[in-house]
Structure 1
Amino acid sequence: MAIEIKQLAITYYPIPKSGSSSIKYALMALDGNQRALADPDNEVHGQLTTNYVDPFLAVYDGHKGKFTIVRDPLERLLSAYTSRISDARVLTRPTADKVKLENFGIPVDPDFDTFIFNIEKYCACSWEIQFHVASPRYFTGCSLFLFEHVFKFEQMDKVEAFLSSVSGRALDLPRLQIGGRKISPSDLSPAALAKAMRFCRYDYGFLVDHYDPQKWGGIPEGDAGDPSTLHVFGDPAALRDGRIVYPRTARNLLHFMLKRSLVEPRISL
């Protein structure tokens, strides 16, 4: 769930496509575990993993010095598309569900418009896409108030200064995952931009103190059932009343049952 460096009393909660490769590589060095990696951009995640948490619960885990790095939701979504779809071509990997791709009739090399208009289907076909476009709440829980430091992606120099301060030595933060093709919001068609902003709408609410959706024209009106980053584990082939339903996890169910007795109270007359 989190990457704890006990001797420094800090705990990092990585969010995909938010500088996690660079931070993990730096933390390996600070923890005395840095080693030569043939492909550090990707192999670092095998050394320090990123795990899910319940997006509807705050993370009370007792770890000290919690910090994370957040990113503008739209820019993070575009980065996920270019790195996973365009560069890594994850839809051509054995891990992609070829049967679902064929049944949905969607291409393995979509342009961004095709991708965003079918994003719930692409999430159903690839765990890697799910993982990289999922709401940051899947990695931090529902509250950032429990974090001692919340850095913005554009402030990596502050992260570098923070890690240098807690470690007592100058740290030169590596810059990983910076190659490949780039796509910016200005490259999107109006319809694709609107769909992307609707998809990211809950993340802008979550990060209201850090990013303003008005930078990209705001969140357009839509239906409450529109797909979002919180819906990425829904099944578009099994809708309820035409909507993707967030699946109840075992942890969610346990949390619910703890608050509601299985035995209905009896009323004495």
Structure 2
Amino acid sequence: MVIAVDAHRIAYMALPKAGCSTVKAALAQIDPSVTLPPEDERDVMTWHGLYPTVRFRPHRWAQYGGYWRFCVVRDPLRRLLSVYTNRVVERRDLHNCRNILRGRVDLPKDPDPDFFFCNLKAYVAASSVIKHHVLPAWLFLGPDLGAYDRVLKTTELASLGEELSARSGRPVEILRENRSSLQLSFDDLGPEAQRAIRDHLAEEYRYLRDFYANPLAEPAAVPCTGPLRRVS
């Protein structure tokens, strides 16, 4: 299903770990079709309960041709690293993984970042939660980002509040939801984990090439075209 606010003809496709909790919370402020629980009973799962994140389906998306259609993207490396800091460390999702708990796979529930990224394929196969959050962006946003009226980076979410407010005639406050308190950088990882991440994200950076340069790409060799000369 497409996340739509029919009253204001707004349609949104969510990408996991790309500000989707924040965007959903903003949409709920202007959506008359939803009933919010009391403020002290809300948490990040409130927004996902209201607006589930689903994969892109062309026939569903085509039904919203007259809507203002948008999505939010995030730097692929930052998005992937946040899966570890938020889903593995903070939310401890692997402690609820049935395949691990029942001994079907031999994987630690609290891996260090190097082990996690070196064994990312195994964790994706074992845990549906991890898989959901590391699937490539095009599965959620579709093959053609040109089909959107606006593609925002996560660093531009403040301007989304202004856009939603203008379209709804109501004030919209952008509050950062589900922000990880932990920090992990590419340089914190060992060579094998870095290589695994580089390989995993190569296609993702190609898909988002109009928005993010690939900082992990190996520099191309520069051919020597001048005459050779002996150095004494």
Shorter chain as denominator, the TM-score bin is 0.7 to 0.9
2:98 match: secondary structure: coil
Letter in 2 for 1:97: N
CA distance in 1, matches of 2:38, 2:14: 21
| Superposition deviation, residue 29 in structure 1 | 1.4
Please list, as runs of the form range in 1=range in 2, the aligned pairs for 1:113-192 lying within 5 A after superposition. 113-192=114-193
Change (3 A) 1:58 1:180: farther
Residue 202 (structure 1) shift: 1.2
RMSD: 2.2
**Is 1:204–2:202 an aligned residue pair?**
no
Match of 1:81 in 2: 84
C-alpha distance in 1 between matches for 2:194 and 2:183: 16
The answer to whether the aligner puts 1:45 opposite 2:48 as a matched pair is yes
2:69 counterpart residue number:
66
Whichever residue aligns with residue 43 of structure 1, its letter is T
Cα–Cα, structure 1 residues 202 and 219, in superposed 2: closer, same or farther, change >3 Å? farther
Runs of at least 5 residues in structure 2 that lack an aligned partner in the other structure? 221-232
Distance across 1 between alignment mates of 2:37 and 2:70: 24
Mapped partners of 1:198, 1:220: distance in 2: 14
- Residue aligned with 1:114, SS: helix
Greater alpha carbon shift after TM alignment, 141-150 vs 60-69: 60-69
TM-score, normalised to structure 2, is 0.85
Return the offset for 1:60: 4.5
Secondary structure at the residue paired with 2:145?
coil
TM-fit CA distance, 1:138: 1.5
* Cα distance change of structure 1 residues 220 and 48 upon mapping to structure 2, 3 Å threshold: farther
Q: Is the 8 A contact 2:95 2:101 kept in 1?
A: no
Corresponding residue for 1:97?
Answer: 99
Which structure has greater helix proportion? 2
Asked if 2 retains the 8 angstrom alpha-carbon contact of 1:90 and 1:96, the reply is: no
Q: Secondary structure at the match of 1:145?
A: helix
After TM superposition, give the deviation of residue 194 of structure 1 in Å: 2.3
> Larger RCO: Structure 1 or Structure 2 (Cα < 8 Å, ≥ 6 residues apart)?
2
Contact 1:198 1:219 in 2 (8 A): no
Deviation at 1:58, TM superposition (A): 8.8
Instruction: Quote the residue 1:218 is aligned against.
Output: 217
**Deviations 1:102-145, CA, capped at 9 Å, x for gaps:** 45432111111101111111011111000011111111111111
Is the CA contact 1:30–1:167 (under 8 Å) kept in the aligned structure 2? yes
From the superposition, tell whether residues 134 and 61 of structure 1 become closer, same or farther in structure 2 (CA, over 3 Å).
Answer: same
Give 1:242's aligned residue.
none
Q: How many residues align?
A: 215
TM-score normalized with structure 1 length: 0.74
- The yes-or-no answer on 1:7 pairing with 2:10 is no
